Structure 1
């Protein structure tokens, strides 16, 4: 019985950590969804198209549209990764490296809760 109690305590700690990460994921998703609606890309493009001015002004406007587009693409990728992480929580596979199957370090999950790989596998990908 004592053994089962210890397992339950470890399970509770794991469940508590997963709950903390799930909360962080939901907050980040809400933040990204909120900022995504602040200034649609079409607004930047219309503003840029309506500009009168010299070539430098037009280039600056084009750069603004490009940056805005890149930010939207990055946010979309993060939103997708967050949704995938939430699905892994539901499946019970959250915190397990997709590449090696080992647990992902808590510090890494705290920093990037939507990560799919441990730091070792991430470094191998960069090499």
Structure 2
């Protein structure tokens, strides 16, 4: 892969990483689990909000890890190569999911 393309993907990955890290403080739970305030409807709503925030935090954590791994592959010179079949990942796939580890064919096999 040409260095100009690699630099483009690195920039995309770094920006996405910054977005995730910048949004992290806004997603910290407002109430501690098990804290009791308001009526049962308020408590239920607070618990639901907490579960949603935790799910988002887990998703962000997984995405952040995938982004960091992609940046590592750039540094190692293996970015854009499928980790399953070792063929080049199509540029369209890298544009859509720059942190991907596998080509579209291997992803389809993984999903069933």
> TM-score, with normalisation over the residues of structure 1?
0.81
Say whether 1:102 aligns with 2:90.
no
Partners of 2:14 and 2:24 lie apart in 1 by 15
Supply the distance in 2 between the matched residues of 1:44 and 1:111 (Cα, whole angstroms). 36
Alpha-carbon distance in 2 for matches of 1:126, 1:72: 24
Is contact 1:44-1:64 (8 Å) kept? Answer: no
> Structure 1 residues 97 and 38 mapped into 2: Cα distance closer, same or farther (>3 Å)?
same
Counterpart in the other structure of 2:8:
20
Deviation at 1:50, TM superposition (A): 4.5
Deviations 1:82-125 (A, max 9, x none): 11100100000000000000111111111111110011101100
**Corresponding residue for residue 5 of structure 1:** none
Q: Which structure's CA Rg is the greater one?
A: 1
Query: Secondary structure of 1:100's match?
Result: coil
* Structure 1 residues without counterparts, runs of 5 or longer: 1-10
Match in the other structure for 1:90: 75
In 2, Cα distance between equivalents of 1:96 and 1:116: 8
Question: Larger helix proportion, structure 1 or 2?
Answer: 1
Alpha-carbon shift at residue 77 of structure 1 (Å) = 0.6
CA distance, structure 2, for counterparts of residue 57 and residue 37 of structure 1: 23
- TM-score of the pair, normalised by structure 2: 0.92
The partner residue of 1:29 within 17, 25, 43 is: 17
Structure 2: distance between partners of 1:44 and 1:17: 44
Match of 1:52 in 2: 38
**Could you tell me how far apart the structure 2 residues matched to 1:39 and 1:18 are?**
32
Equivalenced residues, count = 112
